[in-house]
Structure 1
Amino acid sequence: MYIADETIDKIIKEDVPYLDLTTKLLGIGEMTGVIKYTSREHAVLCGTEEVVRIFKKLGIEPVKASSSGSLLQPSETFLIGKGRVADLHMAWRLTMNILEYSSGIATRTRNLLEKARAVNPDIELLSTRKLFPGTKELSIKAVVAGGGMPHRLGLSETILVFEQHLRFMGGIEGLLKNYAVLRKAACDKAIIVEVTTLEDAKKLCRVGVDGIQLDKIPPEELQTMVAEIRKMSDRVKLIATGGITDRNAEIYARTGVDALSTSSLYFGKPTDIGVVIEK
């Protein structure tokens, strides 16, 4: 995944506006040392490529670097760099933050996907746009490293009709009335509509929408809805969303939907990573 130099520079500048004052005044900055990163738990690694770029910008030589997506064991050292002590200390905290938060997202993604695929091997896991502003590039990379995919990268990418849109169109009936015009204008795009009732889902099937997003529907009811929709169309993609976490992923996966969409991947405990700087 491409992340611009501008983003890398901004990350460094945010934590190191001028110099590391502590290292400077202690008089140890010109000494040489090694920085080592070790996982304290089972995890899916993410963010090492960005850390290596930070290393190079700060004059640190990468000695070892496992790639994003690697499965880490407890006590496994996955990243090593060597250089001036002043540079190692400038890199220390900001690189650890990148690795802990990114690996946390990647690990949650892998765990949720494994639970869902244990009961539905063909299901996909999609991340929503409900991420903290300013973290999008690293967050999306982490989801992909964990085996998921972004549901939408932005408003310019796909057509996803929500209830908020329908209020200005006269509801589902208004959308159906104008669907042919929308389909013609979006001839090369998928059209997905979010609904909460089987009746509305059936109406959308009849006009041939590409996907139906089923929001906040209890698993038992959702399973019945999926079965009824499949009788009408085996082409339409069905996405379950709303309150899906690693605690209920298996239940939702059993309903037969094509994908689970969730924001829970972004929120949770960072991966516990230890960092040591030594001579």
Structure 2
Amino acid sequence: MQYISDETIDRWIKEDVPYLDLTTLTLGIGGLKGKISFKAREFTVLSGVEEVLRIFTKLGITSTRSLSSGSVVNKGDIFIEAEGLASSLHMAWKVSMNILEYSSGIATRTKKMVDKAKSVNPHVAVLATRKSFPGTKELSIKAILAGGAFPHRLGLSETILTFKQHVAFLGDINNLARVIKEIKSNACEKKIIVEVETLEDACLLSESGVDGLQFDKIPALELKSIVDQIRGINPQITLLGAGGINESNIEEYARSGIDAIVTTSMYFGKPSDIGVTMEKL
């Protein structure tokens, strides 16, 4: 279960309802009781359901039926039903729909990628990067988990992941290799991963004591050859592939022998198509 604070839920509501719902007020329908239903218009992996139910609770809406995040629904399936005053239902409507459509879009794309990768390599992990749109990380992480992936890196404070942008300040890759032991002594409980782009750098670092290598933008067939060579040097090293991996080529990378596929592509695409209806009770 992922923790999302009440403050965050309140902020989402307040963003859409800064003062009041002027339309519902002027129509004079706010005190009438009604029912709201959310229905999938296509194959969808749900995410954000629990947050929507918390929005309902804060607005005095009672859920009568719901499926949990991670559930798979098909076109025409109703997955949330709830009852409350029209004023509350209209306050909850759009913010809830936005959460569900964007989150479920990510979850659905994630599941499709995970299923493709696992179909050719059951042991490969699919990892989502930290390149989600700023301000959406909580929902994005929940969505990729609902789709069957895991976060690659939740933030800069979590792991030691060295890029060429870091190496630029050390001079070159040889200097990085020389300081690996010092890094390990300073952060002995952390794994050290380095992103590489060439076989030469990969060989050097695999002998230096790094725990893992992340290969960036290397074609899948070429990566398979590199993986075989690195495994010969260090059979225990963790190998990851990253850069340009998406639903169209993820199977090729899963066949390369890497331990994990690192990708951003599930964050970007069409939101899920979800229909919302209301009726007076």
Provide TM-score, normalisation by structure 1. 0.99
Report the aligned-residue RMSD.
0.7
CA contact (8 A) 1:241 1:261 kept: yes
Query: Which consecutive residues of structure 2, in runs of 5 or more, have no partner in the other structure?
Result: none
User: Aligned to 1:115, what secondary structure does the other structure show?
Assistant: helix
Code of the aligned partner of 2:136? T
Which residue of structure 2 lines up, in the alignment, with residue 242 of structure 1?
243
Looking at structure 1, the residues matched to 67 and 38 of structure 2 have their Cα atoms a distance apart, in angstroms, of: 11
Which residue of structure 2 lines up, in the alignment, with residue 19 of structure 1?
20
Which residue of structure 1 lines up, in the alignment, with residue 77 of structure 2?
76
Asked if residue 151 in structure 1 is aligned to residue 152 in structure 2, the reply is: yes
Which residue of structure 2 lines up, in the alignment, with residue 43 of structure 1?
44
Shift, 1:129, TM fit: 1.1
Looking at structure 1, the residues matched to 127 and 172 of structure 2 have their Cα atoms a distance apart, in angstroms, of: 26
Deviations 1:80-127 (A, max 9, x none): 110000100110011000000000000100000111111111000011
Looking at structure 2, the residues matched to 234 and 73 of structure 1 have their Cα atoms a distance apart, in angstroms, of: 43
Asked if residue 133 in structure 1 is aligned to residue 141 in structure 2, the reply is: no
Percent same amino acid at aligned positions? 57
Looking at structure 2, the residues matched to 184 and 228 of structure 1 have their Cα atoms a distance apart, in angstroms, of: 28
Which residue of structure 2 lines up, in the alignment, with residue 221 of structure 1?
222
Deviations 1:109-154 (A, max 9, x none): 0000111111111000011111110000000000011010111000
Shift, 1:208, TM fit: 2.0
CA contact (8 A) 1:208 1:236 kept: no
Looking at structure 2, the residues matched to 138 and 254 of structure 1 have their Cα atoms a distance apart, in angstroms, of: 30
Provide TM-score, normalisation by structure 2. 0.98
Looking at structure 1, the residues matched to 69 and 235 of structure 2 have their Cα atoms a distance apart, in angstroms, of: 36
Looking at structure 2, the residues matched to 107 and 5 of structure 1 have their Cα atoms a distance apart, in angstroms, of: 26
Farther-moved stretch of structure 1 (201-210 vs 28-37): 201-210
Looking at structure 1, the residues matched to 102 and 91 of structure 2 have their Cα atoms a distance apart, in angstroms, of: 18
Which residue of structure 1 lines up, in the alignment, with residue 8 of structure 2?
7
CA contact (8 A) 1:12 1:94 kept: yes
Which residue of structure 1 lines up, in the alignment, with residue 198 of structure 2?
197
Looking at structure 2, the residues matched to 221 and 121 of structure 1 have their Cα atoms a distance apart, in angstroms, of: 21
Deviation >4 Å, runs of 4+: none
Shift, 1:221, TM fit: 1.0
Question: How many residue pairs were aligned?
Answer: 279
